[in-house]
Amino acid sequence: MDRNDYYGAESASLNLTQFYSKFRPDQKPAESLGRDRDWNIDLIPKFMMANGEIVRFLTHTDVTRYLEFKQIAGSYVYSGGRVSKVPANASEALSSPLMGIFEKRRMKNFLVWAEAYKDSDPSTHQGLDIDRNTMTEVFKKFGLAAGTQEFIGHAMALHLDDSYLNQTARDTVEKVRLYAASVLRYGKSPYIYPLYGLGDLPQAFARLSAVYGGTYMLNTDAKELIYNDEGKVIGVKANDETVHAKMVICDPSYAPLNVKKVGSVVRAICLLTHPIPSTNDSDSCQIVIPQSQVGRKHDIYIACVSDAHMVCPKGYYLAIVSTIVETANPSEEIKEGLKLLGPIQDVFVHESPLEVPIEDGKQDNVYISRSYDATSHFETVCDDVHDMWRRITGEPLVLKKRENEEEVNAA
């Protein structure tokens, strides 16, 4: 059930008409922007780690039969006043402009250790225990400088802040390994992206759901949840009818009384007519601006795609800059990201609340997801899926590989 007339709600991909009616309802798109149908503009852009959990979800459910993917050309980090490629393995570390010659060797040693570490083989541990030692202790062991620690933690392990430094190292080491393995899968970068935009994901699930007898209702505003005398949900009031249900699974906007606001995300959707400077003329990329580089508490993320991904006409690029709001002037907070884009043809800035459920849903059978955060990848979304599955079923989500499970191909 979706109140919109398009698939995907907050994570939809909109054509020009839909996009302008959402952000500039009193204005028509310029004719120079081309045909309506050539645009599929993501409201919330996110890339998929090639070996990540989101790809396992898609292959396990077999929804990949309805989707095509393309590789994202590069993964970059803003450090020392410039944009540089994130080194993904030992050989890239040795050629990276992010570090001096001695630091490159130390970075290489760290990556070799992380890749080789086996719980059952103490000879690979080099005196470290990733279940006991903190990440700060690991970095100290390899003598890594603060700047190197930063891009490992934020651009490879994709941590949202620096709290990981005081936590045990396993989570970060596994994330660095996932990053490196994802790069190896297709080369160039660890990320892939569906052709025609992220809005194709919910459409693909809708098709698959129809195969199993599911019904998808667009343009249906679920105005109210209906409860019985015991406080358990028994249905949804939508338009002029009531749909009965044993449980309701929804995003925060459908149950405003059951959620609390914990912050906001600001996003700037930018139309460009050129690749982002310093990205090797890439048709697509992710850039992470670590918090300390721009004196913030949260990282700034830039996701860029182009006509190569069937999301805009030839010659155009879509770049989305996003971050967690920290001040009363959100549009100022993304300026450091906008500066990296070069000349911008047009920009659409919007702010979205970050909401989380107050209860776990077991009392009233209303299970609510978290809002999409500012990250330009799906790792935090997958964490939420696991959390919701555990709340709904009482068991962890275990994806067993099926015999006929297809691999995801990305050109």
CA distances from residue 65 to 208, 214, 308, 406 in whole angstroms, order as listed: 9, 18, 20, 8
Total H helices, total E strands in the chain: 11, 17
pLDDT score recorded for residue 403 = 60
Kindly report, residue by residue over 277-289, the tens digit of the pLDDT.
Answer: 999 999 999 999 9
pLDDT score recorded for residue 404 = 60
- Which of these, 79, 75, 76, lies nearest to 292 by C-alpha position? 79
* Biggest distance spanned by C-alpha atoms of the chain: 70
Residue 320 near residue 303 (C-beta atoms within 8 A): yes
pLDDT score recorded for residue 189 = 87
**How distant is the alpha carbon of residue 159 from its chain centre?**
12
pLDDT score recorded for residue 160 = 85
Kindly report, residue by residue over 316-351, the tens digit of the pLDDT.
Answer: 999 999 999 999 999 999 999 999 999 999 999 999
- Which of these, 343, 323, 345, lies nearest to 334 by C-alpha position? 323
| CA 100 – CA 213 distance, rounded (Å) | 59
pLDDT score recorded for residue 405 = 57
pLDDT score recorded for residue 186 = 82
pLDDT score recorded for residue 400 = 76
| CA 332 – CA 14 distance, rounded (Å) | 26
- Which of these, 282, 345, 307, 309, lies nearest to 35 by C-alpha position? 307
Positions in the chain short of pLDDT 50? none
pLDDT score recorded for residue 304 = 97
